[in-house]
């Protein structure tokens, strides 16, 4: 049975049994404590923990998940992978143990013809918590399982909690016996390789207090409403139903592995090291496909860093298998073709997905060349200094600065006969991860402990949010928070977070800045500095008290700055217009991957692999302003996410959407996007739209910036004034300014070339005298010369000319320095006889560059370096002369 069919049967079974089918959330988690969605229950945590009321009593999903903690173990065992899918069914205070166990047994053992999975009941075992007699009894009564196939396990294996105070409860796991070929008899407690876990049923029934460890916690009592959270590993069940040994051999993964084996000429199953690499490739290519499909692009932090690492590990594994040519164009389409059965959007978006992946592979191929050169230089320096191991700092720099994988560093170090301080490297990596997680948490929560806001939501309920319809509301202060704790009041100058019962203020989201405005009350006034949603459904205002005292329960007039809101609406609607214009001009693969809007300004990041031409920029600006001139209607409507997808609405990749979504249209189908921002009523209200910039922000991602509204007019006015001033200075009509400037620049270049020729002539004039004044250094003719203010090209020309004038039958070394733009440069050349004596230009230039506070390198005959301190030029030339003597005499 194909994996896509297993998925379909799961959703249909639970839908028939009264469950709401919930689409998979993004791989990027909406939980500030998580980078990725690591389990099927993550999107349901607010409902399972009662932080938010569940919108349905029963739900089911097939959730995309990603775990990277054990990425180094991928391929080495059958248990470790990165991307996986988790089938789940959930009950929020509805059915409990009997329902969960009944559903699980029915689906697993019903015949294929009846819509089930058709597993042999005799091969199924279960585990229950030590004293969970109720579950054991249900397995006997509902499934007819004998006592010997119901095994008891302790808290370590069969009790679930989040690791924090909150809900917890025993769980019951279902195992499938793969037979004696996979291990010994005795059930899961004897051998979990033979008895493979396929489904875990969690019975949330207790409230936990202090949680000290997985097995050490306080139980405060029973939960008022009991919940069900189950998780079935889709890939694990596919292994069972497809009769394969591990997840790398199922139908959604094996084709990529087979194609990698074909490209490399290796046979899967022949050599363990090759098998590991082929599994890494198959796993990482699929994971990269899914991440890019969710809108992630490679970067040096957060989810983008993980994506970059996955792609580079896959490419590196292929190189170790002997494939030097680009491999992703051969592998990614294979993964698309097997995954599109479950995720059709992968095929529809493949042009964008592949452009991102292929660009990253090409960038890494260049990195490998550069990183190898740096690694070789580092090893040479290490050996020259008598060291035996690369420091953790050096290994981390190779990894962090040049993208060099640590496994590659380790392998090359072993080949070079040196070690690596892995502990130091891991420590630095851990510190970087901790900083990244802290930054992510701070960005998502505003650096404030959200516990107090969760308590406020539980006490007062959701904020009545009226930003779409109101600019002013009569509101009441429900709470004030300062330093993460509730306070009763705040005086002039104090900055606090205010929770209101209702608000017209837009909370920052979807790339749109929060509203500005004021809170006014009898005897006081506060400025609204920021508006956020630290927890879902609760709007919090950061305010600075200007006059009077703001106290809890105060009635306030909450007023948005109308000009600010208008500018924000113009910018956000302008973003939709620019996005549609980009797709008109460049094609449907130019999809938005991020945005930022504030009054008068917008920027939009989109998938594209190269800079826009001047013609393309002009076309995007023209199409955008035509849309403004045409006064297109702007409207918003609500619908379910599946309805919106059928409607053709574009979703911002990486965003998390609920069941009900808001679709914003500009001109009907011309621009139709999921969006929670504020907008103008007609496109003409956007005003002038001027593209002010276009740049790269990463592999396969470009950014356009634009000015809109009154700010757009002012931008054009400044441009007009600049042209007028230039025309006045040049004493030429405005329409002739460009031609006049071009002529001046051409004349200036001619003069600069003439000056360069004169300077080069002056430099070369010294060649003859320098060659004839060479010093004898233990038999080597040595020329050391400071050329003063001379460019690197002039210095190189002089060095080669002097070397050409030296006798060919005597070893000769020429070293010349110059200073260009206040930075010193040194070029060194040796003749053939000097190289026969063992004197190499590359070694000498490093000695000079070290004195100058820089670096350098090159070939044995000519090398170049530079530095930071021009005052050290005499010392650098002396260092070269000393190094020549050392090399010739063999002195240490």
Between CA 315 and CA 313 the distance in angstroms is 6
Between CA 605 and CA 696 the distance in angstroms is 9
- 159 Cβ contact list (under 8 Å, min separation 6): 129, 168, 169, 170, 171, 215
Identify any residues that bridge with 420 across adjacent strands, giving them in sequence order.
Answer: 390
Q: Give CA separation, 291 vs 288, 311, 591, 610, 702, in Å.
A: 5, 11, 15, 21, 19
332-354 exposure pattern, b = at least 16 Cβ within 10 A, e = fewer: bebbbebbbbbbeebeebbebbb
Between CA 828 and CA 415 the distance in angstroms is 31
Distance of CA 320 to the CA centre of its chain: 26
Between CA 639 and CA 651 the distance in angstroms is 13
Distance of CA 710 to the CA centre of its chain: 35
Q: Is 576 annotated as a binding residue?
A: yes
Residue 619, helix vs strand vs coil: helix
DSSP string, 811-832: -EEEEEEEEETTEEEEEEEE-H
- 2 Cβ contact list (under 8 Å, min separation 6): 251, 341
Q: Is 572 annotated as a binding residue?
A: yes
DSSP string, 255-297: HHHHHHHHHHT--TTT-HHHHHHHHHHHHHHHHHHHHHHTT--
Distance of CA 626 to the CA centre of its chain: 35
Q: Give CA separation, 601 vs 571, 575, 608, 696, in Å.
A: 6, 9, 22, 18
Q: Is 675 annotated as a binding residue?
A: yes
Identify any residues that bridge with 614 across adjacent strands, giving them in sequence order.
Answer: none
Are 621 and 578 within 8 A, CB to CB?
no
Between CA 817 and CA 787 the distance in angstroms is 6
Are 832 and 880 within 8 A, CB to CB?
no
Binding annotation for Zn(2+):
572, 576, 675, 679
Residues annotated in a binding site? 572, 576, 675, 679
């Amino acid at each position: 049975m194909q994996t896509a069919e297993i998925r379909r049967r799961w959703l249909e079974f639970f839908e028939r049994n009264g469950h709401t089918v919930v689409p998979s959330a993004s791989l990027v988690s909406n939980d500030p404590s998580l980078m990725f969605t690591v389990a099927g229950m993550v999107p349901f945590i607010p409902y399972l923990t009662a932080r938010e009321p569940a919108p349905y009593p029963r739900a089911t999903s097939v959730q995309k998940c990603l775990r990277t903690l054990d990425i180094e173990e991928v391929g080495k065992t059958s248990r470790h992978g990165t991307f996986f899918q988790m089938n789940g069914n959930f009950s929020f205070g509805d059915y409990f143990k009997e329902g969960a166990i009944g559903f699980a047994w029915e689906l697993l053992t019903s015949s294929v013809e009846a819509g089930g999975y058709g597993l042999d009941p005799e091969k199924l075992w279960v585990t229950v918590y030590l004293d969970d007699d109720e579950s054991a009894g249900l397995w006997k009564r509902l499934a007819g399982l004998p006592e010997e196939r119901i095994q008891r396990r302790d808290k370590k294996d069969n009790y679930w909690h989040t690791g924090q105070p909150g809900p917890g409860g025993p769980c019951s796991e279902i195992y499938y016996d793969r037979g004696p070929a996979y291990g010994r008899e005795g059930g899961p407690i004897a051998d979990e390789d033979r008895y493979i876990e396929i489904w875990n049923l969690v019975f949330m029934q207790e409230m936990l207090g202090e949680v000290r460890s997985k097995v050490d916690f306080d139980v405060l009592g029973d939960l008022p409403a009991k919940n069900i959270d189950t998780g079935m590993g889709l890939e694990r069940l596919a292994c069972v139903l497809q009769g394969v040994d591990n997840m790398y051999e199922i139908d959604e993964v094996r084709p990529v592995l087979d194609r990698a084996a074909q490209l490399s000429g290796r046979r899967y199953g022949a050599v363990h090291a090759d098998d590991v690499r082929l599994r890494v490739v198959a796993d990482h290519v699929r994971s990269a496909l899914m991440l890019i499909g969710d809108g992630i692009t490679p970067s040096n932090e957060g989810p983008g860093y993980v994506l970059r690492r996955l792609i580079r590990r896959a490419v590196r594994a292929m190189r170790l298998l002997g494939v030097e040519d680009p491999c992703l164009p051969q592998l990614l389409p294979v993964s698309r073709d097997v995954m599109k059965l479950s995720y059709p959007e992968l095929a529809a978006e493949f042009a964008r997905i592949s452009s991102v992946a292929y660009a990253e592979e090409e960038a890494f191929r260049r990195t490998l060349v550069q990183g190898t050169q740096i690694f070789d230089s580092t090893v040479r320096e290490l050996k020259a200094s008598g060291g035996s191991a690369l420091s953790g700092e050096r290994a981390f720099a190779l990894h962090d600065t040049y993208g060099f994988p640590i496994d590659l560093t380790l392998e090359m170090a072993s080949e070079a006969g040196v070690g690596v301080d892995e502990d130091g490297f891991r420590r630095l990596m851990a510190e970087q991860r901790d900083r990244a997680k802290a930054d992510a948490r701070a960005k998502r929560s505003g650096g404030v402990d959200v516990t107090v806001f969760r308590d406020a939501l539980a006490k007062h309920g959701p904020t009545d949010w009226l930003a779409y319809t109101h600019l002013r509301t009569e509101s009441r202060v429900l709470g004030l928070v300062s330093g993460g704790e509730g306070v009763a009041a705040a005086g002039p100058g104090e900055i606090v977070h205010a929770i209101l019962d209702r608000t017209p203020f837009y909370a920052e989201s979807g790339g749109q800045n929060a509203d500005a405005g004021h809170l006014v009350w009898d005897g006081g006034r506060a400025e609204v500095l920021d508006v956020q949603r630290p927890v879902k459904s609760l709007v919090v205002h950061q305010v600075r008290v200007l006059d009077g005292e703001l106290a809890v329960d105060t009635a306030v007039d909450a007023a948005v700055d109308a000009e600010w809101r208008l500018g924000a609406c113009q910018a956000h609607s302008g973003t939709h217009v620019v996005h549609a214009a980009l797709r008109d001009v460049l094609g449907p693969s130019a999809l938005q991957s991020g945005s930022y809007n504030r009054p008068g300004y917008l920027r939009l990041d989109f998938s594209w692999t190269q800079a826009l031409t001047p013609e393309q920029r002009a076309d995007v600006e023209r199409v955008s302003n035509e849309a403004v001139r045409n006064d297109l209607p702007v409207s918003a409507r609500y619908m379910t996410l599946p309805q919106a997808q059928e409607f053709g609405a574009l979703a911002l990749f990486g965003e998390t959407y609920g069941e009900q979504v808001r679709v914003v249209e500009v001109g009907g189908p011309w621009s139709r996007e999921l969006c929670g921002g504020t907008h103008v009523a007609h496109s003409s209200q956007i005003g002038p739209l001027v593209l002010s910039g276009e740049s790269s922000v990463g592999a396969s991602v470009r950014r356009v910036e634009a000015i809109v509204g009154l700010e757009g007019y002012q931008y054009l006015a400044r441009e007009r004034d600049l042209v007028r001033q230039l025309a006045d200075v040049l004493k030429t009509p405005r329409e002739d300014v460009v031609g006049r400037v071009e002529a001046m620049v051409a004349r200036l270049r001619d003069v600069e070339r003439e000056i360069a020729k004169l300077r080069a002539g002056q430099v070369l004039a010294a060649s003859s005298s320098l060659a004839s004044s060479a010093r004898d250094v233990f038999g080597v003719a040595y020329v050391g010369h400071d050329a003063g203010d001379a460019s690197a090209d002039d210095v190189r020309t002089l060095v080669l000319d002097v070397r050409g004038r030296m006798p060919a039958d005597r070893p000769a070394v020429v070293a010349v320095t110059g200073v260009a733009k206040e930075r010193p440069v040194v070029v060194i050349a040796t003749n053939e006889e000097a190289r026969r004596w063992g004197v190499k230009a590359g070694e000498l230039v490093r000695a000079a560059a070290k004195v100058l506070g820089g670096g350098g390198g090159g070939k044995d005959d000519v090398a170049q370096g530079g530095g930071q301190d021009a005052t050290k030029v005499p010392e650098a030339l002396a260092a070269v002369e000393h190094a020549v003597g050392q090399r010739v005499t063999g002195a240490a």
